[in-house]
Amino acid sequence: MTDTAIEAADLTLAYGRRREPALRGCSFRLATGRVCALVGPNGAGKSTLLALAAGLLRPTSGRLAVLGTTPAAARPRVAYVAQDKPLHPGLSVAETLRLGAELNAGSWDAALAAQVAADGELDPGARVRSLSGGQRTRLALALALGKRAELLLLDEPMADLDPLARNRLMGTLMAEAAEHGTTVVMSSHIIGELADACDHLLLVSGGRVRLGGGIDDLVHAHALVTGTGRVADLARHTVVESRATGRGLTALIRTDGPVDPAWDVEEPSLEELLLAHLRAPDAPALITPGTTPTRAVAA
Ligand SMILES: Nc1ncnc2c1ncn2[C@@H]1O[C@H](COP(=O)(O)OP(=O)(O)OP(=O)(O)O)[C@@H](O)[C@H]1O
């Protein structure tokens, strides 16, 4: 047994020799049992990272361990839902679930898979090619949950679901993860959805990990300060982003010690933290203690 779900050390992936790497020098550790939000702008490398962890791509350089072994060896214990939710178009809903049962004999949770499909009123006889985008997503999630994997890798899993379906499926996912200690890594552009569900964050931008760690730890490491002072007055801290506002200056800082009481200090919301880092891609990265790779993988 390992207490580490994913561990990356200097992980780099280039799709072709002449292309800029999609991921470059990424190092982080995700403990088991965490629900991790994978966030970043379009083209940041999120899908690439998930495909690497699913064992569908091989790193160009660097190391990646999944559940204490190689991504390929971990595949039976991992469920991956790709962004385009690939399924066999000619199979019916019932045949797709039967195939899930056959491919995962021994671990298949038929009741859960059937419940996820039935909650969306999927007609068991309907062909996959006749399903809507949201219905296909639901079927893909039914397969992933039915597998009872130790690690769920979900690439924008809720993107084409209606708000009610999204809310209910997220609830099912979180309840299952909590009951079974499943690790979840979920990419999404909807920060509100992630803030409610996730306890861990990986922010990827330009192929690099900008923030990695427990959401509470990352939020506590920052402060949103407002005042009439100058940016230079905040020099002892790391200023991630600063803006002139009606009240003078507002800055998101990574604190190094107490902040001068001349500033109004608030804890940022997750959204404020993420938006500031997305607007300031050159701000120094922060990977919190305990979420850096261990020596075994880094070596
Ligand atoms: N199969 C591929 N061949 C060549 N380049 C690719 C391929 N897949 C992705 N890329 C490139 O790799 C980079 C990272 O893409 P990736 O799909 O991982 O981003 P993403 O963060 O998932 O984006 P989005 O939020 O838009 O889904 C992009 O520059 C993209 O153009």
Pairing of β 200-205 and β 35-39: parallel
Residue type, 257: G
With a 6 Å cutoff on the Cβ, whether 15 touches ligand 1 is yes
Distances (CA, A) of 221 to 76, 102, 267: 37, 47, 9
Higher pLDDT, 236 or 2: 236
Is the CB–ligand 1 distance for residue 42 below 6 Å?
yes
Task: Give me ligand 1 centre to Cα 48, in Å.
Answer: 6
Distance from C-alpha of 51 to C-alpha of 218, rounded to nearest angstrom: 26
User: Which has the closest alpha carbon to 81: 176, 155, 168?
Assistant: 155
What is the per-residue pLDDT for 298? 57
Q: What is the mean pLDDT of residues 230-249?
A: 90
Triad 49, 1, 209: Cα angle to 5°: 25
Of the chain, the percentage scoring pLDDT greater than 90 comes to 86
Q: What is the ipTM of this complex?
A: 0.98
Q: How far is 82 from 266, CA to CA, in rounded Å? A: 38
Partner residues linked to 8 by β-bridges: 28, 64
Euclidean distance between CA atoms 242 and 251, whole angstroms:
4
What's the CA-to-centroid distance between 153 and ligand 1, angstroms?
A: 16
| Cβ-contact 78, 54 below 8 angstroms | yes
- In this predicted structure, what is the pLDDT of residue 192? 85
43 band by pLDDT with thresholds 50, 70 and 90:
very high
> Averaged over 111-135, what is the pLDDT?
95
Cα distance between residue 215 and residue 218, in whole Å: 5
Contact 171, 203 (CB under 8 A): no
% of the chain beyond a pLDDT of 70? 98
Mean pLDDT of the chain: 94
Q: Is residue 48 lining ligand 1, measured as CB closer than 6 Å?
A: yes
* Residue 16 pLDDT level (bands cut at 50, 70, 90): confident
Choice between 86 and 88, residue whose per-residue pLDDT is larger:
88
Report the pLDDT averaged over residues 149-174.
Answer: 94
Pocket mutation for ligand 1, best pick of 26, 39, 48, 190 (most atoms within 8 Å of C-beta):
48
Q: At what angle do helices 110-119 and 133-146 cross, to 10 degrees?
A: 160
Is residue 288 pLDDT above 70, yes or no? Answer: yes
Q: Which CATH number fits domain 4-216: 3.90.230.10, 3.40.50.300, 3.40.50.2000, 3.10.180.10?
A: 3.40.50.300
Instruction: Say what the pLDDT of residue 293 is.
Output: 85
Instruction: Give residue limits of the domains in the chain.
Output: 4-216, 217-284
293 lines ligand 1 (CB under 6 A): no
| Count of CA atoms in the C-beta half-sphere (13 A) of 244 | 0
- Ramachandran region of residue 204, left (φ > 0), alpha (ψ -120 to 50) or beta? beta
Distance, in Å, from the CA atom of 292 to the CA atom of 228, rounded to the nearest integer, reads 37
Contacts of 6 (CB under 8 A, 6+ apart): 28, 29, 30, 53, 64, 65, 66, 151, 183, 185
Task: Say what the pLDDT of residue 295 is.
Answer: 65
Residue, of 1 and 272, whose pLDDT is higher: 272
**Does pLDDT of 94 surpass 80?**
yes
Residue 37 has pLDDT above 60, yes or no: yes
Does ligand 1 have an atom closer than 6 angstroms to the CB of 205?
no
Instruction: Output the pLDDT for position 29.
Output: 97
